[in-house]
Structure 1
Amino acid sequence: MVEIDDTDARILTALQKRGRMSNADLSERVNLSPSACHRRVQRLEAEGVIAHYVALLDARKLDRPATVFVEITLAGQTEEALDAFEREVALIPDLLECHLMAGTADYLLKISARDTDDFARIHRRYLARLPGVAQMHSSFSLRTVFHTTALPV
């Protein structure tokens, strides 16, 4: 666990909203000198609090408006079965997220697709071939009501 003070929290909040801002803009926004701000950002990067900088893309503009959530239940939960599934699922190019779950399903996948035909292709080519799957349930998102990548700090 890394200690985060109020200044670090302001820096992290600002960077999560606008990761490409200059150090000068960031230091002004968090009320800190540019050199002190730069040192803090470097420390947060070195400690792994800031893991990556990314560009968030608009799925609709890239003709990938369909989001499909897939619940998967495996036939067994041995370490070998989980490892085999996780190795193979990581190879799906349309996969946005994969979560090992506690609850009714073993895994929850978030898939990006163009439409129902594209999801059928993803299902045939990748999902149906995943090892150890006993059940699979797919749900199409009708609309994203709220979405953020920002963690509360």
Structure 2
Amino acid sequence: MQIDDTDRRLLRQLQADPALTTADLAARANVTEATCWRRLERLRTRGVLQGQQAVIDWHRLGWSVEVSLRVTLDKTDPRAFDGFIAAARQIPEVLEIQTFLGRVDVRLNIIARDMEDYRRLYRERILTLPHIADLEALMHVSDIKSGEALPL
């Protein structure tokens, strides 16, 4: 979908502050409220804007460990991907599931309250996931750059 300068201004302002009211967003993007509302609706209808979400700092809620698990699946079973992903979705501590082409098939991003909680989760839930051929855990140390803002 092609977007013009007005759409870009609206999206830049919305990325900077998703909580803006339509009136404030219109003022910052230098358009009328009606134009702002119509443009946002068009962007939603076309799937450019897919909603708003609450970003929760899970550290403040007592989760202190983040681990990225790189998983290589047993490709001799044609149901390996579907079975693994279905089972991984059932683990509440799995925040993100991504699939890849290459040696690593799936990446799971998981959180735990502390190292003891991680060990329990790893032994009881992760190692019991089906079709794992190889598994590598990468302990998260720090975020250097994080964000979903596009260079509009």
* Cα distance change of structure 1 residues 151 and 119 upon mapping to structure 2, 3 Å threshold: farther
Please report how far the alpha carbon of residue 79 of structure 1 lies from its aligned counterpart in structure 2 after TM superposition. 4.2
- CA–CA distance in structure 2, aligned partners of residues 77 and 10 of structure 1: 50
State the alpha-carbon separation in 1 of the partners of residues 41 and 78 from structure 2.
38
1:41 counterpart = 2:40: yes
Q: RMSD value over aligned CA atoms?
A: 1.6
Which residue is equivalent to 2:62?
Answer: 63
CA–CA separation in structure 1 for the residues paired with 2:55 and 2:27:
24
Question: Which amino acid in structure 2 is aligned with residue 131 of structure 1?
Answer: P
User: Cα distance, 1:150 vs. partner?
Assistant: 2.0
Runs of 4+ residues over 6 Å off in structure 1? none
Corresponding letter in the other structure for 1:34: E
Task: Give the match's secondary structure for 1:144.
Answer: coil
Please, which runs of 5 or more residues in structure 1 have no aligned partner?
none
In 2, distance between residues paired with 1:39 and 1:5? 14
The aligned residue for residue 142 of structure 1 is 141
Structure 2 gap ranges (5+): none
Question: Counterpart of 1:3?
Answer: 2
C-alpha spacing 1:151/1:124, structure 2 compared with 1 (3 Å) = farther
Distance in 2, matches of 1:116 and 1:6, equals: 49
Among all aligned residue pairs of Structure 1 and Structure 2, give the percentage whose two residues are the same amino acid.
Answer: 33
Per the normalisation by structure 1, the TM-score is: 0.91
TM-score by length of 2: 0.91
The residue that corresponds to 2:105 in the other structure is 106
Distance 1:95 1:10 in 2: 35
Question: What is the aligned residue count?
Answer: 152
Question: Structure 1, residues 17-69: CA drift from partner, whole Å, max 9, x if none?
Answer: 32111001100111111110011011111111111211111122111132110
Aligned residue for 2:59, secondary structure, equals: coil
Q: Aligned equivalents of 1:16 and 1:123: distance in 2?
A: 36
Amino acid at match of 1:52: G
- Worse-matched range after superposition: 33-42 or 73-82: 73-82
